[in-house]
Chains A and B, each alone.
Chain A
Amino acid sequence: MLILECPYCGVTGEETEFHGGGEAHLTRHGPGSSDDDFENYLFLRENPRGVHFERWRHVNGCGKWFHAARDTATLEVFGTYSAQTTEPPQDIKDAITAKRPGWSWREFK
């Protein structure tokens, strides 16, 4: 059972209180984009065994979307943070580095 903390209302809850929204920090592409960009945005995923950034929604709570950094191989949650960002904040990156030195994910390190 995953335990997540909603960065908006501060509630710590079990995963049944939340709903997973898949990979985070995708760059959205609209009409006129190349086939490559569309394919990347709509279908291709990192799906790593290890550090993963993802979207969650506090469905049975405040209803807000937020981000989480988690390890898919151990289910350890490194931290949750605001949805209003295109990149994990430095304190989250530091928390991951403390536990998984040398991690990288897409363009983030």
Chain B
Amino acid sequence: MYQNHDETIPRESEPMRRFSAFAIAREAARHHSGWERHWRSPTPKKHYDAIIIGAGGHGLATAYHLGKDHGITNVAVLEKGWLGGGNTGRNTTIIRSNYLQDPSAAIYEKARSLYETLSQDLNYNVMYSPRGVIMLAQTEHEVRGYLRTAHANALQGVQTEFISPQRVKELVPIINLEGPRYPVLGGLWQARAGTARHDAVAWGYARACSDMGMDIIQKCEVTGIKRDGDKVTGVETTLGDICCNKLGIVVAGHSGVMAEKAGFRLPIESVALQALVSEPIKPCMDVVVMANTVHGYMSQSDKGEMVIGGGADGYNNYTQRGSFHHIEETVRALVETFPMISRLKMLRQWGGIVDMTGDRSPIISKTPVEGVFVNCGWGTGGFKAIPGSGYAMAELMAKGGSPLADEFSMWRFREGKFIDESVAAGVAH
């Protein structure tokens, strides 16, 4: 039943060699022949203390913190496709923590602060770039909303400020302040927000997990969840049955599908969200700009491509491709905000399946099945949260509770205890 993916790498392999300036020099001198694979691809064992379904950023970060903070290393991460091939490898990589509600600010700021040292902690360059994020205020309503957020952030200890149109122009010379529909009236500025390399975040965590002895198993789809009464006992997969004491479901857009297999329902709907990138051009914008009223946002990658995020479809969708008219709406919004991009060619467009909750906040929670935990509902904006979410989810799975996660229970809807971020921003990336 079990196939061995990679016979050349034994289960008990040497610890990973560390990346360093010295290693780069050494490899440069020998035609880069000594770089190793970053993680093992073992066959599944019969039993694990904990199984995580989904090798996106959130699943891998959960496994990492289970090992690092709680000493639980008999862990498998099961992935139906390839590691980071879900939303983690499809997002526009904006990292910020200027949310309105206290529980959100707490977990997003925890994540942002972990991003600051993530490259050192993982010994893997995730290219965290705290270049600053501006959220443009283009209506009076938005001005008031962002002033309120700036005040809330001051109380939460998150450094943000509301800036004038002139300051926006200094930070973003290519912006058109007097747009045809909505003039720029100011902006919410978070200087330590920014971007990171999305694939590297997944790869870095995977390498660290593998190094702790965890098994990362790709091309292994979970097809069923096994229970003994109300308690989980394991999973059925395309590589056979695997037993576990605890199970973390961290599958973003497929959360509803997995919950159904576990026998409960979630307050989640899955829709396609799109992004696109342009041809690479010379550096022209060194901050991230989000324009929520006209509905578009943009940053420039280190390669020079303009990375553009667009709208979500208005209907349930699992196809990882969105509707064409959203691209037009997004591009129209950005051309009016940045007229110089009007002649840029777009290179690629893609979609991801995002998991939307009613209050636009995530779920990090126990479930009706004992031993099963869910981490989902990050919707259009969970890349920024990966380190904090993994930290909180691991604590929840290891100890049964976590101060950062407790407010994000799946029962908050029933109790009317929403963490309402939908009013704070039309676009929530």
Q: Which residues of A contact B (CB under 8 A)?
A: 1-2, 15-16, 19-20, 22-23, 35, 38-40, 42-49, 52, 54, 70, 72-75
Given contacts A2-B315, A16-B325, A54-B316, contact A47 B414 (CB under 8 A): no
When C-beta atoms are compared, the residue in chain B nearest to A74 turns out to be B319
Q: Roughly how many angstroms separate A48 CA and B323 CA in the complex, as a whole number?
A: 19
Q: Roughly how many angstroms separate A71 CA and B413 CA in the complex, as a whole number?
A: 28
- B257 engages A44 (CB within 8 Å): no
Q: Roughly how many angstroms separate A47 CA and B268 CA in the complex, as a whole number?
A: 7
Q: Roughly how many angstroms separate A47 CA and B265 CA in the complex, as a whole number?
A: 9
- B319 engages A43 (CB within 8 Å): no
| Between-chain CB contacts (< 8 Å), 18 pairs | A1-B323, A1-B325, A15-B315, A15-B325, A23-B316, A44-B265, A44-B267, A46-B260, A47-B257, A47-B266, A47-B269, A47-B270, A47-B316, A48-B256, A49-B257, A52-B316, A54-B315, A73-B319
- B413 engages A42 (CB within 8 Å): yes
Given contacts A43-B413, A46-B265, contact A19 B318 (CB under 8 A): no
Q: Report the number of A-B residue pairs with Cβ-Cβ less than 8 Å.
A: 68
Q: Which of B269, B317, B318, B414 contacts A38 (CB 8 A)?
A: B414
Interchain nearest-CB distance for A78 vs B (Å) = 14
Interchain nearest-CB distance for A18 vs B (Å) = 9
- B318 engages A72 (CB within 8 Å): yes
- A45 engages B315 (CB within 8 Å): no
Q: 10 tightest CB-CB pairs across the interface, nearest first?
A: A47-B256, A43-B267, A20-B315, A20-B314, A39-B414, A43-B413, A44-B265, A49-B318, A72-B316, A73-B318
Chain B residues with CB below 8 A from A43, complex form: 267, 358, 413-414
- A2 engages B323 (CB within 8 Å): yes
Chain B residues with CB below 8 A from A15, complex form: 315, 323, 325
Chain B residues with CB below 8 A from A75, complex form: 317, 319
Chain A CB within 8 A of B295 CB:
no
Q: Roughly how many angstroms separate A20 CA and B414 CA in the complex, as a whole number?
A: 25
Given contacts A54-B316, A75-B317, contact A45 B325 (CB under 8 A): no
Q: Roughly how many angstroms separate A52 CA and B318 CA in the complex, as a whole number?
A: 11
Chain B residues with CB below 8 A from A2, complex form: 315, 323
Chain B residues with CB below 8 A from A40, complex form: 265
Q: Roughly how many angstroms separate A49 CA and B325 CA in the complex, as a whole number?
A: 23
Chain A CB within 8 A of B226 CB:
no
Chain A residues with CB below 8 A from B323, complex form: 1-2, 15
Q: Roughly how many angstroms separate A38 CA and B270 CA in the complex, as a whole number?
A: 21
- B317 engages A39 (CB within 8 Å): no
Q: Roughly how many angstroms separate A2 CA and B319 CA in the complex, as a whole number?
A: 12
Q: Roughly how many angstroms separate A43 CA and B358 CA in the complex, as a whole number?
A: 7
User: Which of B256, B270, B318, B413 is most buried by chain A, counting CB atoms within 10 A of its CB?
Assistant: B318
Q: Roughly how many angstroms separate A97 CA and B263 CA in the complex, as a whole number?
A: 24
- A49 engages B414 (CB within 8 Å): no
Contact with A along B311-332 (1 / 0, CB 8 A): 0011111110001110000000
Chain A CB within 8 A of B47 CB:
no
Interchain nearest-CB distance for A74 vs B (Å) = 7
Q: Which of A23, A35, A45, A48 contacts B257 (CB 8 A)?
A: A48
Given contacts A45-B268, A52-B316, 16 further A-B contacts (CB under 8 A): A1-B325, A2-B323, A16-B325, A19-B314, A23-B269, A38-B414, A39-B414, A43-B267, A44-B265, A44-B267, A45-B265, A45-B267, A46-B260, A47-B256, A47-B257, A47-B316
Interchain nearest-CB distance for A105 vs B (Å) = 11
Q: Roughly how many angstroms separate A23 CA and B270 CA in the complex, as a whole number?
A: 12
Chain A CB within 8 A of B68 CB:
no
- A49 engages B267 (CB within 8 Å): no
Q: Roughly how many angstroms separate A93 CA and B317 CA in the complex, as a whole number?
A: 21
Chain A residues with CB below 8 A from B325, complex form: 1, 15-16
Interchain nearest-CB distance for B327 vs A (Å) = 11
When C-beta atoms are compared, the residue in chain A nearest to B359 turns out to be A43
When C-beta atoms are compared, the residue in chain B nearest to A73 turns out to be B318
When C-beta atoms are compared, the residue in chain A nearest to B265 turns out to be A44
Interchain nearest-CB distance for B224 vs A (Å) = 15
Q: Roughly how many angstroms separate A15 CA and B315 CA in the complex, as a whole number?
A: 10
Interchain nearest-CB distance for A14 vs B (Å) = 8
Chain A CB within 8 A of B254 CB:
yes
Chain B residues with CB below 8 A from A23, complex form: 269, 316
Chain A residues with CB below 8 A from B267, complex form: 43-45
Chain B residues with CB below 8 A from A39, complex form: 413-414
- A46 engages B319 (CB within 8 Å): no
When C-beta atoms are compared, the residue in chain A nearest to B268 turns out to be A47
When C-beta atoms are compared, the residue in chain A nearest to B270 turns out to be A47
Interchain nearest-CB distance for B396 vs A (Å) = 21
Contact with A along B374-418 (1 / 0, CB 8 A): 000000000000000000000000000000000000000110000
Chain A residues with CB below 8 A from B268, complex form: 45, 47
Q: Roughly how many angstroms separate A19 CA and B269 CA in the complex, as a whole number?
A: 16
Chain A residues with CB below 8 A from B313, complex form: 20
